[in-house]
């Protein structure tokens, strides 16, 4: 019965794309829902492509086929074959109706793809996850995004056990059935691919709000969760409403069904899912209240709610032709969310946060064995390609295009894109063509960004000619080779720039050959390997502010003098570049500590920050970010041979130096001042103060633990909300303070019933730096609350350890690697998607120093030799260990 297609010909290649030989015009689905077994009836109205002559083949995995009929007549055994994940049917014609009935087993589904059970058998509920290829675990179907069908869904179930029945689309009737059962029907008027199908059934509560779209549609918004969490859905409902309004105002996009449902689950492989009319969320990105949710998480909830909502147009109304085009919906939707979040919060902080994420998660991906283009050329398992490259770098590419077109031009382009491709599956070429045509431009050179992996290095050199009063900026680019792409071509790199005089004033820019009026900021596009840009009327050597707002996803190498960076840190009105100047100074200070003898660089960085510390005009959140040097992962990216323990020690030392320069008394005073208004309000100003308070406490703990740890304990005990509580707990735990034990016990007791808070309890301990982390992780694995079956719990403990704690994971004795490899093999048998993602913690192992490198290699080799790995994990391990 189970038919998996692990043995199917691999890999799948972009260049082999062919349109579907058979489409489904209409799908009528019928569910008899049960926890151990559910039956799914499907009536598929088929259309054949007259240009192709292929047999009817439908995808299906782990389905028990109960009945099959074609055009009303049962099909005898010889007329169909089901093997290797494919059902082949003889005798179908254009207009045929294929009927199948299958049985699936939700309670046994630990992969959390297809129809599965969230929570316990007694109290849990049923739900589906279909992206990317989960629908084939529900019924037989051409499970590919370019097959768009109209769906009618009827759900039947026991009323007491499953009082709530939901599916995507508009409600179309409900009623009673004999034997305590009931039914509900949903019709989705918008053709959609199977990956956007969803249903939910169980005991759930809701909160509701009426919403009227700009074009006049009355919509019922409902957020659903299990009863204990319904009080924590309010914030998400408000965020949803804000996102809907913003999309109307910014892109003219209106919602298009009468209902919009959002459901929270604790059992989810990813963040959330944009199923048409029935979004399903990992509870971590939906539930929020001050007692259990940190400020960072509040912002994440707002962002993810918006992201999924924005997919209704960028993803659902216009979907992807094939999975190679994934960034068409994801890069675009991340960009739209970034715009929205910048608008709702602080644009500079949002940009800093996003670029920091790009550097932490995407740059390492682009620099290692897992590197792939934003539009990959091939894959074995598409679920492995929901990556920082496809999402975050993809968003940067859209940002470059939007910057090139300007606000009005980008809107014109988006209008054309939505109008032209509405109700269809599109490609990245279609996207660039629409943006370009609406503006009379050829944007096709930007396609190279989608095809080429690796992060370009941009070098900048400036030369001032006093006699000619010119400043010549020479920009050059180079992209290092990545696996399978040894030679790289130049890409169009938009560089937004300004020039400052030595008093910190911006100069008017007169670019050679340019006739338009001089402004103080402009974008130049480096299209070749190297180009000169000559600015006229420049009396003295200026200080360039380059790549403002991070105008392209590149690594900038510019030979700044420290006082030039200090000038930008003090004066650049571009908040991002101001922060960036501080980061560059920190990097120099770090290198000076590492290499010795560069005392001036350390003192320079500390002095620049000390000068800003009491600047009342500075946003406290920006100050907190300025006081934070680049993280250990980013620092490792810059080393030829990585020793994570040494990086950790040096970075701690660097922060200690900063703390000493600021002075213990000053830090304590600041902490006291910030602690005075210790509420838990989620507004931006209060969030900013808490962010700075955390940073100040962390610095003080490095400088003077005897003063800081009792302060942390007091902050823990008196905290009004999770942000302050967790910040204090983290300081106590990371310093292995005597007070940590009590605080951990108190936290555990206080939040025993809340899985999301408990995840934080696991994560904070998994991030104890250095040698002690491993023993702690092992002990926590034995905790009754730990399970490999829950992805959030796995990420909290093993993910935080392996990906969020470099000095703890990368032990010289290799015990961290062996632990992870063992768990990966166990987890893979339960949930291949989560296992494969966790395995990416090994990315970068080839650049470790020799002792660790050999340990990592051995652990990976043992895992590779394990024999029965899923396609997901095997693909990742295969890339890591070529
Ligand atoms: N499209 C979703 C991400 C997503 C992808 C795969 C999933 O399968 C478990 C779930 C969600 C998004 O971008 O939000
Ligand atoms: Zn998405």
Residue 412 pLDDT exceeds 60: yes
Average pLDDT over residues 292-302: 98
**Residue 831, ligand 1, Cβ within 6 A:** no
pLDDT of 5: 42
Cα separation, 820 vs 827, whole angstroms? 10
From the CA of 307, how far away is ligand 2's center (Å)? 6
Cα separation, 529 vs 526, whole angstroms? 8
Cα separation, 211 vs 109, whole angstroms? 36
Cα separation, 366 vs 374, whole angstroms? 10
From the CA of 330, how far away is ligand 1's center (Å)? 9
In 3-state terms the chain splits into helix, strand, coil percentages (rounded to 5) of 45, 20, 30
Average pLDDT over residues 112-134: 99
Minimum-distance ligand 1 atom for the alpha carbon of 329? 13
Average pLDDT over residues 441-460: 98
Q: Tell me which residue has tokens 């088929």.
A: 46
Alpha carbon nearest to ligand 1 atom 6, residue: 131
Using a pLDDT cut of 70, give the percent of the chain over it: 99
Minimum-distance ligand 1 atom for the alpha carbon of 386? 5
pLDDT of 678: 67
**Residue 273, ligand 1, Cβ within 6 A:** yes
pLDDT of 682: 84
From the CA of 96, how far away is ligand 2's center (Å)? 35
**Residue 306, ligand 1, Cβ within 6 A:** no
pLDDT of 23: 98
Alpha carbon nearest to ligand 1 atom 4, residue: 273
pLDDT of 9: 52
Residue 280 pLDDT exceeds 80: yes
Question: Residue 592, preceding bond cis, omega within 30 degrees?
Answer: no
Alpha carbon nearest to ligand 1 atom 13, residue: 330
Average pLDDT over residues 214-232: 98
* Summary mean pLDDT of the chain: 97
Alpha carbon nearest to ligand 1 atom 5, residue: 131
Cα separation, 21 vs 51, whole angstroms? 8
**C-alpha dihedral sign at 74, 77, 80, 81:** positive
User: How large is the ipTM?
Assistant: 0.98
State the pTM of this model: 0.98
**Residue 386, ligand 1, Cβ within 6 A:** yes
Residue 4 pLDDT exceeds 50: no
pLDDT of 2: 38
**Residue 330, ligand 1, Cβ within 6 A:** yes
From the CA of 281, how far away is ligand 1's center (Å)? 10
Residue 482 pLDDT exceeds 80: yes
Strand partners, 154: 30, 185
Other CB atoms closer than 10 Å to residue 423's CB: what's the count?
11
pLDDT of 589: 98
**Residue 308, ligand 1, Cβ within 6 A:** yes
Rounded to 5°, the CA angle 525-529-530 comes to: 75
Residue 12 pLDDT exceeds 80: yes
From the CA of 113, how far away is ligand 1's center (Å)? 11
pLDDT of 677: 73
Candidates 485, 490, 484; CA nearest to 456 is 490
From the CA of 786, how far away is ligand 2's center (Å)? 29
**Residue 197, ligand 1, Cβ within 6 A:** no
Cα separation, 231 vs 743, whole angstroms? 26
DSSP states of 197-234 as a string?
--EEEES-EEEEEEEE-TT--EEEEEEEE-GGGGGG-H
pLDDT in tens, 748-763: 999 999 999 999 999 9
Is 641 part of the annotated catalytic residue set? no
pLDDT in tens, 561-593: 999 999 999 999 999 999 999 999 999 999 999
Other CB atoms closer than 10 Å to residue 698's CB: what's the count?
23
Minimum-distance ligand 1 atom for the alpha carbon of 308? 14
Residue 7 pLDDT exceeds 80: no
**Residue 274, ligand 1, Cβ within 6 A:** yes
Cα separation, 578 vs 549, whole angstroms? 10
Q: Pick the catalytic residue: 308, 365, 580, 632?
A: 308
pLDDT band for 3, please (50, 70, 90 cuts): very low
pLDDT in tens, 609-655: 999 999 999 999 999 999 999 999 999 999 999 999 999 999 999 99
pLDDT of 513: 81
């Amino acid at each position: 019965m189970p038919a998996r297609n692990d043995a199917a010909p691999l890999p799948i290649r972009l260049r082999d794309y062919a349109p579907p030989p058979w489409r489904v015009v209409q799908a009528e689905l019928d569910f008899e829902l049960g926890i151990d077994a559910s039956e799914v009836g499907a009536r598929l109205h088929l259309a054949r492509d007259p240009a192709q002559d292929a047999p009817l083949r439908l995808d299906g995995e782990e389905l028990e086929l109960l009945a099959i009929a074609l055009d009303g007549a049962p099909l005898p055994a010889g007329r169909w074959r089901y093997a290797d994940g494919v059902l082949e049917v003889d005798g179908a014609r254009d207009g045929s109706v294929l009927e199948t009935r299958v049985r699936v087993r939700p309670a046994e589904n630990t992969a959390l793809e297809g129809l599965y059970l969230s929570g316990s058998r007694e109290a849990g509920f049923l739900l589906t996850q279909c992206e990317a290829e989960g629908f084939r675990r529900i019924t037989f179907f051409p499970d590919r995004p370019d097959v768009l069908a109209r769906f009618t869904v009827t759900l039947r179930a026991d009323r007491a056990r499953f009082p709530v029945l939901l599916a995507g689309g508009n409600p179309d009737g409900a009623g009673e059935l004999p034997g305590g059962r009931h039914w509900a029907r949903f019709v989705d008027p918008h053709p959609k691919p199977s990956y956007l199908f969803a249903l939910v059934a169980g005991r759930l509560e809701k909160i509701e709000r009426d919403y009227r779209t700009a074009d006049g549609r009355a919509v019922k918004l409902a957020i659903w969760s299990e009863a204990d969490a319904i009080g924590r859905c309010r914030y998400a409902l408000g965020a949803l409403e804000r996102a809907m309004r913003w999309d109307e105002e910014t892109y003219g996009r209106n919602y298009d069904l009468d209902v919009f449902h959002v459901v929270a689950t604790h059992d989810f492989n990813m963040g959330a899912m944009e199923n048409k009319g029935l979004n399903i969320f990992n509870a971590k990105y939906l539930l929020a209240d001050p007692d259990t949710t940190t400020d960072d998480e509040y912002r994440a909830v707002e962002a993810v709610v918006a992201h999924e909502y924005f997919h209704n147009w960028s993803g659902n109304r216009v979907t992807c032709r094939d999975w190679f085009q994934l960034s068409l919906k994801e890069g675009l939707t991340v960009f739209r969310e970034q715009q929205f979040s910048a608008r709702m919060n602080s644009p500079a902080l949002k940009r800093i946060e996003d670029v920091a994420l790009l550097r932490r998660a995407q740059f390492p991906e682009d620099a290692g064995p897992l590197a792939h283009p934003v539009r990959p050329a091939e894959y074995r398992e598409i679920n492995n390609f929901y990556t920082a490259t496809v999402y975050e770098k993809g968003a940067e590419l859209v940002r470059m295009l939007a910057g090139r077109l300007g606000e009005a031009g980008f809107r014109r382009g988006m209008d054309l894109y939505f109008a032209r491709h509405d109700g269809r599956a599109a490609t990245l070429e279609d996207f660039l063509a629409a943006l370009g045509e609406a503006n009379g431009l050829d944007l096709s050179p930007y396609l190279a960004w989608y095809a080429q992996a690796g992060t370009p290095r941009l070098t900048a050199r400036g030369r001032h000619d006093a006699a000619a009063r010119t400043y010549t900026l020479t920009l050059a680019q180079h992209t290092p080779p990545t696996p399978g792409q040894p030679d790289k071509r130049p890409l169009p790199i938009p560089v937004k720039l300004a020039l400052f005089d030595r008093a910190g004033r911006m100069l008017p820019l007169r670019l050679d050959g340019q006739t338009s009026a001089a402004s103080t900021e402009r974008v130049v596009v480096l299209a070749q390997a190297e180009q000169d840009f000559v600015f006229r009327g420049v009396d003295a050597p200026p200080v360039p502010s380059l790549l403002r707002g991070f105008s392209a996803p590149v690594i900038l190498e510019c030979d700044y003098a420290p006082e030039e960076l200090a000038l930008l840190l003090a004066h650049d009105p571009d908040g991002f570049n101001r922060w960036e100047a501080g980061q560059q100074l920190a990097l120099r200070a770090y290198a000076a500590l590492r290499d010795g003898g560069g005392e001036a660089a350390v003192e320079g960085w500390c002095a620049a920050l000390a000068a800003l510390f009491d600047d009342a005009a500075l946003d406290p959140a920006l100050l907190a970010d300025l006081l934070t040097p680049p993280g250990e992962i980013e620092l490792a990216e810059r080393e030829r041979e990585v020793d994570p323990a040494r990086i950790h020690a040096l970075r701690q030392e660097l922060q200690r130096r900063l703390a000493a320069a600021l002075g213990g008394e000053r830090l304590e005073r600041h902490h006291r001042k910030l602690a005075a208004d210790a509420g838990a309000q989620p507004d931006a100003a209060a969030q900013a103060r808490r962010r700075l308070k955390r940073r100040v406490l962390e610095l003080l703990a490095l400088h003077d633990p005897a003063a800081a740890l009792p302060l942390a304990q007091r902050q823990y005990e008196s905290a009004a909300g999770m942000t302050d509580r967790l910040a204090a707990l983290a300081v106590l735990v990371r310093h292995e303070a005597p007070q940590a034990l009590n605080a951990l016990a108190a936290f555990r007791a206080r939040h025993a019933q809340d899985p999301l808070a408990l995840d934080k309890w696991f994560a904070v301990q998994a991030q104890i730096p250095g040698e002690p982390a491993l023993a702690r992780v092992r002990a926590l694995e034995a905790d009754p609350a730990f399970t490999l079956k829950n992805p959030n719990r796995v990420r909290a403990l093993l993910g935080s350890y392996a990906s969020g704690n470099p000095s703890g994971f990368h032990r010289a004795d290799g015990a961290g690697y062996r632990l992870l490899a063992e768990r990966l093999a166990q987890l893979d048998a339960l949930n291949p998607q989560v296992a494969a993602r966790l395995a990416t913690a090994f990315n970068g192992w080839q650049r470790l120093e020799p002792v660790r490198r050999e340990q990592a290699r051995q652990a990976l080799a043992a895992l590779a030799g394990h024999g029965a790995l899923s396609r997901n994990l095997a693909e990742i391990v295969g890339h890591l260990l070529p």
